[in-house]
C-alpha cells in the first residue's frame, strides 16, 4: 500500500531505497555489505556466535544455585529456545545470503522485524517476550564483537551497492554522535520520528549531504522493514511504496538535482565576490578533523566552527586527555594548510549528551529542560581541570597553524572573566612546561539573547564574534530546537530574531570587529542576500552548502537590499517584505541589463 509521511525537511535532494529500520539503541552496529565470496564465512561467524551464546546460557543454568527461583532457569530455557528458533536464526542467515548484510546488521534487521510482530500481539504475555528476544540478540551481538569480521568495518562498501538495492535508514531517533558513524555509510537517506530543523542530529545529517526528513512522529512505526521509500528532502515528504509513475517522477528529479550539483561544483575555486565587488569569506563547519578535507574540497577559506564536542561524546566517561585532543586539533590545523581553524570549546549538554542518549531518552530521563541547563561554557566552567586541559590542547595546536578559539553560550559578564582567567592559567601552565603556543584570537558565540543585548561588553573583551543563529532562535523564541511538536514555531523570520542578528552585525562592524554567522542560517540560501544586506561578510556552514551560497553571492548586489533593510526589519512579516524586495531588485537588474544592451 502506498502512503505518505510528512516531517521537517533538513537535507535536500531525493533518496530512493529500501527502508532499513534501526532501533535507536542499535545504530552503532556496523552496517556494511559483504562480497558473494564471504557469505559462507559470515554465516559461519553467526553460527559461532550462536554456539558461544548457547554455551554461556547453559553454563549459567548449571551454575544456578539450588535456592534460586525456578522462574530464572525457565527464563534461560526460553532464551535457549529463542536462540535456536528459525525466526531468529534462519531469517538472519537469509539477510546475509540474499542481501549480503554483515552478521551484526542482519541480526538487528531481523530483530526489528520480530519486534514489530511482538508489538502487534494481542496476548500480553507473548507481547512481553519481545524483551527476551532483545536480550538474546544483545548477547549474540556481544559474541560477534568478540569475533570481529576480517573484512568489515562500517565504512566497507560505502554507498557502493555492487548490485544491491540502495537503503534509507528509518529510526525513532539517532543521537548526534551516532549520526557521525554514517559518514560514507551504506545509507542514502535518513528518516527519524523526532527532531527539528536545527537539532544536532539534523545538522550532522545535513553535513552528510544526503536527503533527510526528521520529526515525522511515527515513520518508524508506519514504515516496514524493506518497504520501498522515497525521501523528498526539500519538501519534507516521505513516499512509502510509491506507484511506478511517482517513482519515475522522483527518479527524474534525482537526475536533475545531480546535474545541478555538478554544475555548482565548478564554482569551487571562484572567489566569492558580489556584483558590487564585496569579497565574502566562506568558511566551513566541521565536526571531526577528517572533515577538513571536505572543507578544502568545497573551496572553504578556513574553518569557522569546529564543534570539538563530538570528540568527547559516547566514550562512557573516558574523555580524551590533553594529548589526544592536541593531536586531533593539530590534524585539523595541518589539513587546512595555513588557513584559519576556529576551534570551539566543548559544547555538550542539551541534545548533545556526553553519553549515548537519543532525544526521546533525554526527554524521558531529564524532565527538566536540558537546553537551559548545564551546557557549553557553563559545563566547562564547572569542570575547571577539564576546561584548562582543552584550552592547553587548543593553544598547543596553535604552534602548528592559524588557530582561533571560540567560546559557546556565554551570557554573563562573570563568565567572560572566568573564561579569560582560565585561558591565562592554561597559557601560564604551558609556559612553565616549556610548551610552544602562539597568541591566538579569542571569540565569543552570540547565541543567547542576553549576549546580543549587552553586545558592547562582549566587543570590549573579544577579538571576534560568531553568531550562533540555531541557539539564538531557540532562546529568543523559547522554542526547543530539537522538539518536533513546536518545530512550526521555530521561526528564523521572527522580527525579534532578525533584529538581534542585524544589531549584532552592525555593532561589530561599526568598530571593525570581525563577525561571522555560523548557525544554519549561514548555509541557507533563503537568507544569503538578507545577511549580506545586514553587512555580514563572513559565513560559516557545512562544506556541502558552500557552492550554492556562493552562487547567490556572485549574483547579489549588497547595496540594493541594504536600502530596504530597515523596512524589512520593521515589518510584521519580514519574510514577505524580503521576498518582495528581492523581486523588485531582480526587476531593476533586468531593466538595467536591457538598458545597457540597448546602449551598446
Ligand atoms: C548555533 O547555535 O547556531 C551554533 C552554531 O552552535 P550549535 O548548533 O552547535 O549549538
Ligand atoms: Mg549553539
| pLDDT of 149 | 63
Q: Ligand 1 atom 9: the closest Cα is on which residue?
A: 307
Q: What are 517's three cell numbers?
A: 554567522
8 A C-beta contact, residue 7 and residue 125: no
Annotated active-site residue 400? The verdict is: no
Task: Quick: pLDDT tens for 342-366.
Answer: 999 999 887 777 776 555 665 656 5
Residue 347: CB within 6 Å of ligand 1? yes
pLDDT confidence of residue 557: 93
For the chain, report the end-to-end CA distance as a whole number of angstroms: 61
Centre of ligand 2 from the C-alpha of residue 292, in Å: 20
CA of 472 to the centre of ligand 2 (A): 8
Cβ of 447 less than 6 Å from ligand 1: yes
CA of 180 to the centre of ligand 1 (A): 17
Closest ligand to Cα 409:
2
Cα–Cα distance for residue pair 544/523, rounded to 1 Å: 9
Q: Point out the ligand nearest to the CA of residue 351.
A: 1
Q: Is 518 a catalytic residue?
A: yes
Does residue 192 line the site of ligand 1, with CB under 6 A?
no
The CA 81 to ligand 1 mean position distance, Å, reads: 49
CA–CA dist 136, 132 (Å, integer): 6
**Beta-carbon-side half-sphere exposure of residue 468 (alpha carbons within 13 Å):** 29
Q: Which ligand is nearest to the CA of 201?
A: 1
User: Which of the ligands is closest to the CA of residue 470?
Assistant: 1
- Choosing from 308, 309, 347 the residue with most ligand 1 atoms within 8 A of its CB, the one to mutate for a pocket test is 347
Torsional class of 173: left (φ above 0), alpha (ψ -120 to 50), beta (otherwise): beta
Ligand 1, atom 8, residue with closest C-alpha:
470
Q: Which of 353, 331, 350 is nearest to 286 (CA)?
A: 331
* Beta strand pairing call for 228-232 and 14-21: antiparallel
CA distance 475 to 375: 14
Q: What distance in Å separates the CA atoms of residue 308 and residue 326, rounded to the nearest whole number?
A: 11
Q: Are strands 514-517 and 303-307 parallel, antiparallel or unpaired?
A: unpaired
465-466-471-474 Cα dihedral, nearest 10 degrees: 70
Torsions phi, psi for 279 (to 5 deg)? -85, 130
Report pLDDT for 19.
93
Q: Which of 200, 400, 516, 542 is catalytic?
A: 200
Q: What is the pLDDT of residue 427?
A: 98
Task: Tell me the CA distances in angstroms from 206 to 9, 180, 321, 379, 527, one per residue in order.
Answer: 10, 11, 29, 27, 17
Q: Are strands 237-240 and 3-6 parallel, antiparallel or unpaired?
A: antiparallel
DSSP 8-class letter at 165:
P
Nearest-5° Cα angle at 199, 477 to 572 = 30
Q: Classify 461 as helix, strand or coil.
A: helix
Compute the distance between CA of residue 229 and CA of residue 2 in angstroms, rounded to an integer: 10
Contact by Cβ (8 Å): 214, 484: yes
Counting ligand 1 atoms within 8 A of each CB, the residue from 207, 470, 523 with the most, and so the one to mutate, is 470
The pTM (predicted TM-score) of the whole model is 0.83
Point out the residues of the chain with pLDDT beneath 70. Answer: 24-28, 148-164, 356-367, 590-600
Atom of ligand 1 nearest to the CA of 447: 2
- The predicted-structure confidence for 474-496, as pLDDT tens digits, reads as follows 999 999 998 889 999 999 999 99
Q: Which residue is closest in CA terms to ligand 1's atom 6? A: 468
State the Cα angle at 278 between 276 and 284, rounded to 5°: 135
CB 140 within 8 A of CB 114: no
The answer to whether the beta carbons of residues 178 and 310 sit under 8 Å apart is: no
527, 545, 205, 538: CA torsion to nearest 10: -60
Q: What is the pLDDT of residue 156?
A: 40
Report the phi/psi class of residue 409: left, alpha or beta, with left for phi > 0 and alpha for psi in -120 to 50.
left
Q: 199, 475, 492, 519: which to mutate for ligand 1, most atoms within 8 A of CB?
A: 519
Output the 3-class SS for 45-65. Answer: HHHHHHHHHHHHHHHHHHCCC
Determine contact, residues 508/459, Cβ cutoff 8 Å.
yes
Amino acid at each position: 500500500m502506498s502512503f505518505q509521511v510528512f516531517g521537517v525537511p533538513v537535507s535536500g535532494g531525493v533518496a530512493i531505497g529500501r527502508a532499513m529500520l534501526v532501533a535507536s539503541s542499535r545504530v552503532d552496529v556496523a552496517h556494511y555489505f559483504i562480497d558473494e565470496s564471504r557469505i559462507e564465512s559470515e554465516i559461519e561467524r553467526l553460527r559461532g556466535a550462536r554456539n558461544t551464546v548457547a554455551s554461556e546460557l547453559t553454563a549459567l543454568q548449571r551454575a544456578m544455585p539450588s535456592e534460586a527461583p525456578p522462574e530464572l532457569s525457565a527464563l534461560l530455557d526460553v532464551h535457549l529456545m529463542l536462540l535456536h528458533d528459525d525466526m531468529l536464526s534462519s531469517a538472519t542467515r537469509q539477510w546475509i545470503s540474499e542481501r549480503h548484510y554483515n552478521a551484526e546488521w542482519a541480526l538487528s534487521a531481523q530483530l526489528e522485524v520480530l519486534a514489530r510482530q511482538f508489538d502487534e500481539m494481542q496476548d500480553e504475555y507473548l507481547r512481553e517476550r519481545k524483551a527476551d528476544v532483545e536480550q538474546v540478540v544483545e548477547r549474540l551481538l556481544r559474541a560477534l564483537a568478540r569475533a570481529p569480521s576480517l573484512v568489515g568495518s562500517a565504512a566497507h562498501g560505502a554507498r557502493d551497492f555492487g548490485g544491491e538495492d540502495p537503503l534509507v535508514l528509518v529510526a525513532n531517533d539517532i543521537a548526534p554522535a551516532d549520526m557521525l558513524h554514517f559518514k560514507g555509510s551504506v545509507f542514502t537517506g535518513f528518516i527519524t520520528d523526532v527532531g527539528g530543523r536545527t537539532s544536532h542530529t539534523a545538522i550532522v545529517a545535513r553535513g552528510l549531504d544526503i536527503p533527510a526528513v526528521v520529526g515525522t512522529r511515527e515513520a518508524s512505526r508506519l514504515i516496514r522493514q524493506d518497504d520501498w521509500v522515497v525521501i523528498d528532502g526539500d519538501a519534507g515528504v516521505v513516499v512509502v511504496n510509491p506507484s511506478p509513475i511517482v517513482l519515475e517522477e522522483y527518479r527524474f528529479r534525482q537526475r536533475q538535482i545531480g546535474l545541478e550539483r555538478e554544475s555548482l561544483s565548478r564554482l569551487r575555486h571562484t572567489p566569492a565576490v558580489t556584483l558590487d565587488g564585496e569579497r565574502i569569506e566562506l568558511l566551513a563547519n566541521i565536526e571531526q578533523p577528517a572533515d577538513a578535507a571536505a572543507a578544502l574540497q568545497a573551496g572553504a577559506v578556513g574553518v569557522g566552527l569546529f564543534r570539538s564536542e563530538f570528540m568527547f561524546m559516547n566514550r562512557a566517561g573516558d574523555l580524551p586527555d590533553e594529548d589526544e585532543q592536541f593531536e586531533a586539533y593539530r590534524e585539523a590545523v595541518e589539513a587546512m594548510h595555513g588557513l584559519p581553524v576556529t576551534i570551539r570549546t566543548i559544547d555538550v549538554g542539551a541534545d548533545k549528551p556526553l553519553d549515548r542518549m537519543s532525544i526521546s531518552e533525554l526527554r524521558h530521563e531529564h524532565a527538566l529542560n536540558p537546553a537551559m541547563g548545564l551546557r557549553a561554557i557553563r559545563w566547562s566552567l564547572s569542570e575547571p581541570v577539564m576546561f584548562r586541559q582543552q584550552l592547553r590542547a587548543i593553544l598547543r595546536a596553535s604552534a602548528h597553524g592559524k588557530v582561533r578559539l571560540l567560546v559557546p553560550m556565554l551570557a554573563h559578564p562573570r563568565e567572560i572573566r572566568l573564561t579569560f582567567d582560565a585561558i591565562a592559567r592554561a597559557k601560564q601552565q604551558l609556559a612553565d612546561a616549556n610548551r610552544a603556543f602562539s597568541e591566538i584570537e579569542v571569540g565569543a558565540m552570540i547565541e543567547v539573547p542576553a549576549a546580543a543585548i549587552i553586545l558592547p561588553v562582549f566587543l570590549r573583551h573579544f577579538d571576534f564574534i560568531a553568531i550562533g543563529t540555531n541557539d539564538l532562535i531557540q532562546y529568543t523564541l523559547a522554542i526547543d530546537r530539537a522538539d518536533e511538536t513546536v518545530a512550526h514555531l521555530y521561526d528564523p523570520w521572527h522580527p525579534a530574531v532578525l533584529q538581534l542578528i542585524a544589531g549584532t552585525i552592525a555593532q561589530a562592524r561599526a568598530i571593525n570587529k570581525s563577525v561571522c554567522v555560523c548557525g544554519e542560517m549561514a548555509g541557507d540560501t533563503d537568507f544569503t542576500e538578507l545577511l549580506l544586506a545586514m553587512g555580514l561578510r563572513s559565513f560559516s556552514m557545512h562544506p556541502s552548502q558552500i557552492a550554492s551560497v556562493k552562487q547567490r553571492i556572485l549574483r547579489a548586489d549588497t547595496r540594493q537590499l541594504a536600502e530596504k533593510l530597515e523596512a524589512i526589519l520593521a515589518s510584521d512579516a519580514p519574510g514577505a517584505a524580503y521576498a518582495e524586495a528581492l523581486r523588485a531588485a531582480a526587476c531593476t537588474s533586468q531593466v538595467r541589463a536591457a538598458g545597457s544592451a540597448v546602449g551598446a
